[in-house]
Amino acid sequence: MKCAAITGILGQDGTYLARWLLHQGYAVHGLLRLPFDREEARVRRRFPAAQIRAIQWHTGSLTDPFALLRFLQTAQPTELYHLAGVSDSRQSFVIPEETLASITLGTLRLLEAARAACPAARIFLASSAEVFGAPAETPQCESTLRQPATPYGIAKLAADQLGRLHRTHYQQFVVSGILYNHESPLRPANYLSRRVAQAVAAIKAGRARELELADLSAARDWSDARDVVRGYQLALQAPAPADYIFASGRQHQVAELVDRAFRTADLDYREFVRVTDRTSNTQQVVNGLRGNPARAETELGWRRNWTFIRTIEDMVRAELEARPELERADPLWQ
């Protein structure tokens, strides 16, 4: 039986991945930042009882190399998925040192722990399109120049380089997945897609009157998290480790996302959306980030089941229906 260890198991990607791997017959070990009894309520919102019993739960922080070593010594995984760490590039301007410690040093500690405890394990590192910054070319491929423009992007690039070092110098099987925006009904409320979906439901129910947004012309390459996490697993089945871009290959403006979200509730966004000036100088790159997923498609056979429209509609319906988190967290949801 294959055995997977997952950091960040209670995040959007970690939840979908864990439940997908269980469906595939894996043994799963998950790392929690706090003891299980303090995380239990959140765990029970996302995992059915049978899966909670099936998962081996561990406690540890990316700041504690000894906890990471214990985690991997106990789990002895054949596959290790590293998804934990600061995930908001805007927040990284506020907490740059914590961002570097969480992402870069956290990745190094985990790689070193794996080298000591399970050197044959195949390792997936969750990277980000933010490593490209204001991109030198569009679309981006795995060889596109990296020139990150945020502390988050810089930290991710450094983590990627550490992964490559361990791949070449220590012969560890390390994959970096370069991830573009990927959405789902599990997205935290501080992300645009979820904020829009929640606002649509509130306006439809009469609990709100308008939604303020800063820039409808900003464009992104959006995929669905339920598709993307399957790519993580495929990447660790490849004959040799490599870097892979997981993206849709298409760009959509925020205006398209907003329009589709409001249409799902039979509303016209122009009646409810108020465009305001940007109030922060810590913004992400707003245009040009579009990934070329050809390598993942060709070498891994990765395919996407969710279209941009279908994902946004599903996010809005989840809010309109007040869909339970347990159902939102199902990677097989159709």
pLDDT digit string, tens, across residues 115-126: 999 999 999 999
Whether 271 is in a domain gets the answer: no
User: Residue 26, exposed/middle/buried by CB under 10 A (0-12, 13-18, 19+)?
Assistant: buried
**Would you state the pLDDT for residue 278?**
64
Whether 209 is in a domain gets the answer: no
**Would you state the pLDDT for residue 279?**
55
pLDDT surpasses 80 at 155: yes
The percentage of the chain sitting over the pLDDT mark of 90, rounded to a whole number, equals 89
Question: Which domain, by its residues, includes 65?
Answer: 3-183+222-249+283-305
pLDDT surpasses 60 at 89: yes
Whether 120 is in a domain gets the answer: yes
Whether 53 is in a domain gets the answer: yes
pTM of the model: 0.95
Active site residue 16: no
Active-site residue (options: 16, 26, 152, 269): 152
Active-site residue (options: 89, 92, 127, 128): 128
Whether 32 is in a domain gets the answer: yes
Classify each residue of 53-92 as buried b or exposed e, where b means 16 or more C-beta atoms within 10 Å of its C-beta.
Answer: eebebbbbbbeebebbbbbbeebebbbbbbbbbbbbbebb
pLDDT surpasses 80 at 140: yes
Mean pLDDT of all residues in 145-161 = 96
> Taking Cα atoms as reference points, which of 244, 283, 6 lies closest to residue 129?
244
- Count of domains for the chain: 1
CATH number of the domain that residue 162 is part of = 3.40.50.720
Strands (E), the chain: 3-7, 27-32, 56-59, 79-82, 122-128, 173-179, 182-183, 211-213, 219-220, 223-224, 243-246, 252-253, 273-275
Whether 152 is in a domain gets the answer: yes
pLDDT tens digits along 98-113: 888 899 999 999 999 9
Whether 205 is in a domain gets the answer: no
The mean pLDDT value of the chain amounts to: 95
Q: Is 117 helix (H, G, I), strand (E, B) or coil?
A: helix
Active-site residue (options: 26, 81, 130, 176): 130
Confidence of residue 96 (pLDDT cuts 50, 70, 90): confident
Confidence of residue 301 (pLDDT cuts 50, 70, 90): very high
pLDDT tens digits along 59-78: 999 999 999 999 999 999 99
Active site residue 128: yes
